[in-house]
Amino acid sequence: MREVVIADESIRLGQFLKLADLVESGAQAKPLLLAGEVRVNGEVETRRGRRLAPGDEVTVAGESCRVGVS
C-alpha cells in the first residue's frame, strides 16, 4: 500500500483522489463515487467532500493508498 503525504491535518476525498493519482480530475471522481467504486477504510463512500485524516485508507479499482502526514 502506497502512502500519500498531505500537508494539513485533513483532506477532502476528492482532493486526495487527485493527489494520489487515483483519478485525473474531480470530474472523473464523481462517477466512480456514485457507482460505489471508492472505499474508505473498507467501506463504500459516495461523498466527494468526506474529510480524510492520517491513517485513512482509500481504495479505487484495487489500488490502495493511505493518508500520511508530513
What is the 3 state secondary structure string of 30-48?
Answer: HHHHHCCCEEECCEECCCC
pTM of the model: 0.92
pLDDT band at 55 (very low <50, low <70, confident <90, very high): very high
**Residue 48 identity (one-letter amino acid):** R
CATH topology of domain 2-69: 3.10.290
pLDDT higher than threshold 90 for residue 70: no
Task: Please answer whether residues 28 and 20 qualify as being in contact, where contact means their C-beta atoms are separated by less than 8 angstroms.
Answer: no
How many angstroms separate the Cα of 36 from the Cα of each of 2, 7, 28?
22, 28, 13
65 vs 61, higher pLDDT: 65
DSSP-based three-state secondary structure for 56: coil
